[in-house]
Amino acid sequence: MSNFEYQNGQLMAEKCTLSSIATTYGTPTFVYSKSAIEQAYMNYANALGEHSGMICYAVKANSNIAVLQVLAKCGAGFDIVSKGELQRVLKAGGDPARIIFSGVGKTTAEMVFAIRAGIACFNVESHAEIARLAAAAATAGINAPVSLRVNPNVDAKTHPYISTGLKENKFGIDILHALEVYQYAKTFETLDIVGVDCHIGSQLTDTTPFIDALDKVLELVDTLAKNDIHLKHIDLGGGIGVTYKDEVPPSISDYLASIKTKIAGRNLSLILEPGRSIVANAGVLLTEVEYLKPTEHKDFAIVDAAMNDNIRPALYQAWQDILPVKQNTHNNADNNTQPEAKNWDIVGPVCETGDFLGKDRTLALQQGDILAMMSAGAYGFVMSSNYNSRTRAAEVLIDKDKPYLVRKRETFDDLINGEQLLQHI
């Protein structure tokens, strides 16, 4: 069941009408459902069950500290890729011992900070990073727990660019060379080798590639054991897809059951790093129709949200549903008729031809209507910008019948914060 459904013609977020949220907080505004976030996390946690391991939410998908707080309260671990994300998790009450630090470009300062914070593990991606982490651990005076991210070279059955498990990208260490890299890591007294990590892609709707990758990783685990390198965990990363339009994502419980069957009897903890599948469908973006602009070739609805608020359509040509927050409630003063449903391109005010939120959407629109861009909880606000000097949107978290402003709308002062006029002219 979705946490965003129509009741009596009103699109709801839990027990709040989205129209009332728009009235109270203005637009554009991201709205998240606390319950939806909790349910999505618990799908993973329940599927993991009694098996040793952690579900580490990928903070990059949505890093609002209130969202992180909700997940921390659920007992989630966190997958971070920067010091900033680590600080957010700590601020939100996350347990450092349940944090995994991923990413190809960690700085020494980030490493030292994370080691001193007591994080669970570093996912390391290169020889050079191993040496740097060993030195950082020596500086911190604390050994660093290490997992190597290996590239199992599994075709994720999606577009080649989506398959991070393939050899042609910057991520991971070729699994064929993993043994020698582990042996290199073992030469450093300040590193504790604890695991292996892989991540084969994003928005995947078939679990077969994950299981293929797991088979290769388990072969590596056995090879390492024969070479006296004994791992405590395997981390299969994230990448489980969600329904934006008509995609059919795999069942989380079936996915976890397949993994647990494969690793049964191995005394290996299991770590997963879901992001999108926790928050994507737990959020919407509210926007108001500013103008209707029918033309000879296209009919445009110009709204007050834009590519700077949600860049996924412009950047990836991603499809997200766009719905009115009120159904059939127009009142035409002249004849009390509803506007005719037409195909509209929903576009923003940004001065870019690529600034659109949706194309060819059949909607009965009037100026002033409030629309909800669905599935906006992941890679929405976190990828927003101030392009065209637009202030970034507000964020509201709904808990049952109560809305909470978890990030206020930016102001002009926020916009120029840190900028300086020249004093000598």
Partner 1 sequence: MRVTLLYCLCLLVLNGCGQKGPLKLPQKETLSYTTKMSTSLTIGVVPFKKEENHV
**74 in catalytic set:** no
Q: Which of residues 3-42 bind partner 1 (CB under 8 A)?
A: none
- Asked if the peptide bond before residue 294 counts as cis, ω within 30 degrees of 0, the response is no
Per-residue x/- mask for partner 1, residues 358 to 397, rule CB under 8 A? ---------------------x------------------
Pick from 232, 139, 134: nearest CA to 187 = 134
Q: Please report whether residue 318 would count as binding partner 1 according to CB under 8 A.
A: yes
Rounded to the nearest 5°, which phi and psi values hold at 193? -80, 120
- Closer residue to partner 1, CB minimum distance, 19 or 102: 102
Shortest distance in whole angstroms from residue 178 CB to partner 1: 18
Q: Please report whether residue 312 would count as binding partner 1 according to CB under 8 A.
A: yes
Shortest distance in whole angstroms from residue 164 CB to partner 1: 5
Q: Please report whether residue 89 would count as binding partner 1 according to CB under 8 A.
A: no
Q: How many CA atoms lie within 13 A of 242 on its CB side?
A: 24
Q: Which of residues 119-158 bind partner 1 (CB under 8 A)?
A: none
- Please pick, among 16, 74, 121, 351, the residue that the annotation labels catalytic: 351
Shortest distance in whole angstroms from residue 194 CB to partner 1: 21
Q: Tokens 């199992």 appear where?
A: 152
Binds partner 1 by CB under 8 A, chosen from 47, 214, 314, 397: 314
Nearest-Å Rg of the Cα atoms of the chain is 24
Distance CA 30, CA 156 (A): 31
Binds partner 1 by CB under 8 A, chosen from 201, 249, 324, 380: 201
Paired sense of beta strands 29-33 and 16-17, if any: unpaired
Q: Which of residues 39-58 bind partner 1 (CB under 8 A)?
A: 58
- The one-letter code for the residue type at 201 is G
CB 231 within 8 A of CB 21: no
Question: Residue 36 in 3-state DSSP?
Answer: helix
Instruction: Encode burial over 55-68: b for 16+ CB neighbours within 10 A, e otherwise.
Output: bbbbbbbbbbbbbb
Binding site for partner 1 (CB under 8 A): 58, 60-61, 102, 159, 161-162, 164, 171, 199, 201-203, 237, 275-276, 312, 314-318, 353-354, 379
Please list the active-site residues: 351
